[in-house]
A and B are shown apart, each in its own frame.
Chain A
């Protein structure tokens, strides 16, 4: 194995600075005591974190996004588990096509999905509904959920299920007591990754969000498009910290490399 030259390490330091700079500056600006964006700042204060609690629009968008993410991730996993089992266990006509169909939202630009859902809601009279917005998120996050469950299902030892069946357990008992626990790491990892993807989704949701169904990224996008004030930086800091916490949990559950690099 070759060693890195000093020049390579300098380049590496610059690259890491480039990656971290925009996130670091957001966090740094959030602690200002001024009423405007100032960096470097001379006074430190938590006033902008306190201000989040009084910003009713941001708070209600936050809870809305959290509910939406919880529901959409749960439904995506509930659909992904049987689909993944079918794909890994049975050889049937159209198996490849089915798989490609479930993965297709990755290939469709989210702007196109947004436009399509807007038209669909408009014709069917569904806009402004939590329930239907949730399904648009299910479509967007399904590839992530399916990929994680698939990678767990592919490596699963089926002998244990057969043993359970031959010892007289019913199919549903085997499914709940053996199959699901064995897939648990993939299910939990897939659920969390799906939740993060749903919680962060902007480009598609910006088309279909209404004042009554406003998600946090859309609310922040609208806010930033008007003005940049320290409030959006403190909200962003909370998001960065929250994402880091979820990432640590994901790492413990399935290993982050698998989440970010693994192809299932």
Chain B
């Protein structure tokens, strides 16, 4: 019964991915285009040229910062919402999650209006004399990071919320009635139970940030290239498809290693905790 779906997936997913993997091994020549000679030259270029290493490094650093910020900002907010009363809880959860369904282009547009030299952020900060000169936010790492956190933080909230639902409030009350302070109960009882949710949220946020395209492309511009925009440029600007394909393959493999590897690690780690 899943035959038709399987057929579509094999022709439209496996075949294109296989073709891309083959393409990444083709040699490219600026004059004659794609050659039917195969080598690992493109991969060697990515792993030895400081230009590409910088792009991969910048992407990893940015994703790591975005992930940390999503944890630091998203986890407390999820806890605050979970303590609210019924109706408010639903409303605010909706406000935070609704942007997930609104186009990333629209959300990024909002940030680029806010972040311009005459944007609301700079006007506001100057009005209250917090700064004298406009901050440069557009086309900077800071600006891209802020907008990325906005795009990614709902995923963290979802993940932490899901693990909060499994939490038994009686355990928290038991801790309190046995004389532990609020702080101790949070640190020793609540937080350890939320940790799997926080970690799996972090994996999702990191993986999505590392392959994000629209926000870095529109807010970072040409100078702040990340892996996704670099692959795009190789395919649609420089037209060096084999190199673009090699970048895509590296991104895909790194993504799968991070997702599968981290999930395995979390499962093992927390199995040990629960059994011990």
A184 contacts the other chain (Cβ, under 8 Å)? no
Asked if A115 and B235 sit within 8 Å, CB to CB, the answer is: yes
The one of A101, A102, A202 in contact with B103, judged by C-beta atoms closer than 8 angstroms, is A202
Those of A238-257 within 8 Å (CB) of chain B: 239-240, 243-244, 246-247, 256-257
- Contacting A at CB under 8 A, from B169-203, are 169, 182
In the complex, per-residue mask of A215-237: 1 if CB is within 8 Å of any chain B CB, else 0: 00100110011001000110010
Asked if A139 contacts B104 (CB within 8 A), the reply is no
Q: With the chains together, A189 CA to B213 CA distance in Å?
A: 28
Task: State the Cβ distance, A156 to closest chain B Cβ, in Å.
Answer: 15
On whether the beta carbons of A224 and B110 are closer than 8 Å, the reply is: no
Instruction: Give chain B residues whose Cβ lies under 8 Å from the Cβ of A113.
Output: 16
Q: Which of B16, B106, B108 contacts A117 (CB 8 A)?
A: B16
Which residues of the partner chain A approach B214 to less than 8 Å between Cβ atoms? 202-203, 221
Check: A8 CB closer than 8 A to any chain B CB. yes
Interface status of B101 (Cβ within 8 A of chain A): yes
Which residues of chain B have C-beta atoms less than 8 A from A123's C-beta? 19
| A98 proximity list for chain B (CB < 8 A) | 2, 6
B232 near A111 with CB under 8 A, answer yes
Contact A202-B96, Cβ < 8 Å, known A115-B20, A119-B20: no
Cα–Cα, bound, A239→B109 (Å): 13
Is A93 in the interface zone, CB < 8 Å from B? no
User: 8 Å CB contacts to B: which residues of A53-94?
Assistant: 78-80, 82-83, 85-87
Bound-state CA distance A228–B119 (Å) is 13
- When A8-B80, A98-B2, A116-B20 are in contact, do A109 and B109 touch as well, CB less than 8 Å? no
The answer to whether residues A120 and B16 also contact, given A107-B256, A225-B217 and a CB cut-off of 8 A, is: yes
Residue from B76, B101, B235 in contact with A207 in the complex, judged by beta carbons closer than 8 Å: B235
User: With an 8 A cutoff between CB atoms, is B224 at the interface?
Assistant: no
Contact yes or no, A111 B213, CB < 8 A:
yes
Query: Which A residue's beta carbon lies closest to that of B102?
Result: A243
Are B103's CB and A239's CB within 8 A? Answer: yes
Interface of A is mostly: helix
Report, as a range, how many residues of chain A touch the other chain.
35 or more
Q: Is B259 an interface residue (CB 8 A)?
A: yes
Which residues of chain A have C-beta atoms less than 8 A from B109's C-beta?
22, 26, 220, 224, 228, 232-233, 236
- Which of B41-49, B129-137, B241-249 contacts the other chain? B241-249
Min Cβ gap A187→B in Å is 15
0/1 per residue, B14-34, Cβ < 8 Å to A? 011101100100000000000
B67 within 8 A of A: no
Chain B positions within 8 Å of A104 at CB level: 13
- B55 part of interface (Cβ distance < 8 Å): no
Min C-beta distance of B207 to chain A, whole Å? 8
Give 16 new A-B contacts, CB below 8 A, not counting A109-B248, A135-B12, A206-B232. Answer: A12-B81, A22-B108, A82-B2, A111-B211, A112-B252, A115-B244, A116-B16, A116-B19, A120-B12, A202-B213, A203-B228, A221-B105, A233-B113, A236-B109, A240-B106, A260-B97
Taking beta carbons and an 8 Å cutoff, which residues of B are in contact with A?
1-2, 4-6, 8-9, 12-13, 15-17, 19-20, 23, 73, 76-77, 80-81, 83-84, 90, 92-114, 116, 120, 147, 150, 153, 158, 161-162, 169, 182, 207, 210-211, 213-214, 217-218, 227-228, 231-232, 235-236, 241, 244-245, 248-249, 251-252, 255-256, 259
A-B pairs with beta carbons under 8 Å apart, 10 shown: A3-B83, A25-B114, A109-B211, A112-B231, A119-B245, A139-B13, A228-B113, A233-B109, A236-B109, A243-B98
